Structure 1
Amino acid sequence: MNIRTATFNDLEQISEVEAQCFPAAEAATKEEFADRLHYYGDHFWLMFDHEKLIAFVDGFVTDEPDLYDEMYEKASLHNPQGAWQMIFGVNTLPSYRCQGYAGQLIQYAIDTARKQHRKGLVLTCKDRLVSYYSKFGFTDEGISEKSVHGNAVWHQMRLTF
């Protein structure tokens, strides 16, 4: 498996993987991904099985300590010198799940944020995934009051260095 950051050439595959991983109300659109790639393609970590995109993690950098819904929609809020690496999505194609690929990408994002001297990483997840992210050192800060993305209930989780 090969891990690298994203380019505009990856847009189609990124959109296809997202559509297979999230319900329509929660999935980013192709247009939103194009905007994200414009502002922070180097904060997309993609994993390939030969030429096939099988998993990715993405999110931008900000000085804001909490993840809120507007961040998903406004890629221009990305601040390359920001303190916090946000994680907006952890995606793995269904046929590649339970093989540790998402974990490798999460660890890659953590390692990258540490090398870039960030304060840490922040993500939101559903209740069933709290224990999964805890394995990487994330702490559950409880139900997010700032994110109701896709009309779902999200826990905000933080990993501080």
Structure 2
Amino acid sequence: ILGLVVGESYRNQGLAGKLLDHLEHLAIEHERQGITLTCKASLISFYEQYSYLNYGVSESKHGSIQWFNLVKNLD
């Protein structure tokens, strides 16, 4: 998955959370140990609400933006 974006008119309805929950269920179904992602600093607190842990600045230079590594363990 390259990105998770919810259109402005659909925000604040819990849709992104539902997508994350579905992703987690798929990961568990496929016996994954966790989910990793990168996000912008402004979204860290959003992902932390879903038990993702911030592992600091990513090495990614995609789009010349500073990205952060987040991980959710599923064990």
Deviations 1:50-75 (A, max 9, x none): xxxxxxxxx2xxxxxxxxxxxxxxxx
Provide the identity percentage.
35
Divergent runs of 4+, >3 A: none
Instruction: Return the TM-score normalized by structure 1.
Output: 0.45
Instruction: Give RMSD over aligned pairs.
Output: 0.8
Unmatched tracts of structure 2, length 5 or more:
none
Within a 5 Å distance, the mapping from 1:1-150 to structure 2 comes to 59=1, 88-145=2-59, 147-150=60-63
Instruction: Return the TM-score normalized by structure 2.
Output: 0.92
Number of matched pairs = 74
**Local SS of the residue matching 2:4:** strand
**Local SS of the residue matching 1:128:** helix
**Local SS of the residue matching 2:63:** helix
Q: Which amino acid aligns with 2:71?
A: R
Larger radius of gyration: 1
User: Which protein has the bigger strand share?
Assistant: 1
Unmatched tracts of structure 1, length 5 or more:
1-58, 60-87
